[in-house]
Amino acid sequence: MKYSFPKQGRLGRREFREVCRQGKVLVSPWIIMYYKPDEHWGAGFGTTRDVRKAVERNLLRRRLREAYRLLRPRLSPFFKIVIIGKGSALNLNFEELQAEITRLLKKGKIWLENGQNPEGYGDGQNP
């Protein structure tokens, strides 16, 4: 199974805004997640304005991207997702951050239960 997160899977500015405006939203004390059904998968990552320092913003985005990358094989490939980290997420360790993202993905019904994999997804053929 391929765990990479290719650049073509990242949302561009236009797609990012479209998902935020037209998609559904899930909120937790640490994360805001927007998602929208689509033919192709994609993900975007950001931070709220309360994360002031560039080093902290970049760290939080990298952690969100890595958590998503590890969880992606268990997700439906028919969603575009935007994950925004709040300043309070900097206080979470990686496992807690990953668990919170998993909780939101399950709540949004994006998580595939029992490892059910749609045809051709996660086998390296479909990014």
Quick: pLDDT tens for 50-97: 999 999 999 999 999 999 999 988 988 899 999 999 999 999 999 999
Name the architecture of domain 7-115.
Answer: 2-Layer Sandwich (3.30)
H-state helical runs in 9-116: 13-22, 54-71, 94-107
**Residue ranges per structural domain of the chain:** 7-115
Residue the block writes with tokens 């561009």: 12
Residue 70 is predicted with a pLDDT of 92
Task: Provide the pLDDT confidence category of residue 8 given band limits of 50, 70 and 90.
Answer: confident
Length of the chain: 127
Residue 24 reports pLDDT greater than 90: yes
79-85, strands of its sheet edge to edge: 24-27, 31-37, 79-85, 42-47
How far is residue 99's CA from residue 79's CA, in Å, rounded to a whole number? 19
